[in-house]
Amino acid sequence: MARHLAPPLDAALMARVDRYVEELLVPPDRALQQGLEDAAAAGLPDIAVSPNEGKLLHLLARLVRPHRILEIGTLGAYSTTWLARALEPGGKVVTLEIDPHHAEVARRNLARAGVGEQVEVRVGPGAATLRAMIAAGERPFDVVFIDADKEGYAEYLELSLQLSRPGSVIMADNLIRGGRVLEPASPDPRVQGVREFNARLAAHPRLDSIILPILREDLDGVSISLVKA
Ligand code: SAH
Ligand code: DHB
Ligand code: MG
């Protein structure tokens, strides 16, 4: 039986499959590509979502016909641009970023991509910004994407829920971490952060969730949660 199975999963195969899907379904995009190049030139780390994951976030967001999207962790606004392109007319993205330099690069990239008017980049620690938004009575978001510091994920989930409504979709990146999430005793605080996040996702009475594996050079994963009443 085993000889009929596909070759074993390895990094090169995962990268080739990822590329195959990208070449089929995610056409090259000048604004997105230039944004990545400018982010790299400005010294930002190369940790944006992949083109395929960007398209996934975009498609999932579009299913909700969103007017308001919240992102935690902007970097150079690569994922932000994919999300902004999912907005209904008149809609807006609020994206939270702790690093003013990242925010500056992000604003330039968003303007070049033609979505600068629809996106507000708020600079500051994500949790404090979310608490201020809740205190200010900010209207709920239709879609939330969590992708900032992994140690903060569990708190971002709780705060995001306070900025959601039944029917909102919450997504989060980097939940598998090359499989290291399988190690309960991992000394890596990022692994511990996503393990705690994943456990809360599973236990939360207001969420119905799945984690989808994401192929790149490494195996990772993205969650999709539907907020219930
Ligand atoms: N979503 C982006 C990638 C984000 S990388 C994309 O896919 O294109 C993570 C970002 O979170 C970095 O820019 C980092 O500066 C930011 N970040 C780290 N800690 C944060 C915090 N406490 N609050 C807000 N943003 C934070
Ligand atoms: C890291 C952060 C991310 O959001 C990501 O997608 C990949 C890597 C990091 O902090 O290393
Ligand atoms: Mg990420």
Say how far apart CA 54 and CA 141 lie, in whole Å.
Answer: 19
pLDDT, one tens digit for every residue, the chain (229 residues): 344 445 556 888 889 999 999 999 999 999 999 999 999 999 999 999 999 999 999 999 999 999 999 999 999 999 999 999 999 999 999 999 999 999 999 999 999 999 999 999 999 999 999 999 999 999 999 999 999 999 999 999 999 999 999 999 999 999 999 999 999 999 999 999 999 999 999 999 999 999 999 988 789 999 999 999 8
Provide the whole-model pTM: 0.96
pLDDT at 3: 47
pLDDT at 11: 85
| Cα 2 to ligand 1 centre (Å) | 42
pLDDT at 8: 59
Determine the residue of 44, 47, 171 to mutate for testing ligand 2's pocket, defined as the one with the most ligand atoms within 8 A of the Cβ atom.
47
pLDDT at 161: 98
pLDDT at 10: 82
pLDDT at 1: 39
Give the DSSP letter of residue 65. Answer: -
145: nearest Cα among 107, 180, 174, 112: 174
User: Rounded to the nearest 5°, which phi and psi values hold at 221?
Assistant: -160, 155
* β-strand partners of 145: 71, 171
| Cα 82 to ligand 2 centre (Å) | 17
| Cα 125 to ligand 1 centre (Å) | 10
Say how far apart CA 212 and CA 228 lie, in whole Å.
Answer: 20
pLDDT at 217: 77
- The token pair that represents 219 in the structure block: 């195996």
What ligand 2 atom has the least distance to the C-alpha of 149?
10
Chain-centroid distance of CA 227 in Å reads 17
Residue whose CA is closest, atom 8 of ligand 2?
47
Does ligand 1 lie within 6 Å of residue 96's CB atom? Answer: yes
User: Rounded to the nearest 5°, which phi and psi values hold at 197?
Assistant: -60, -50
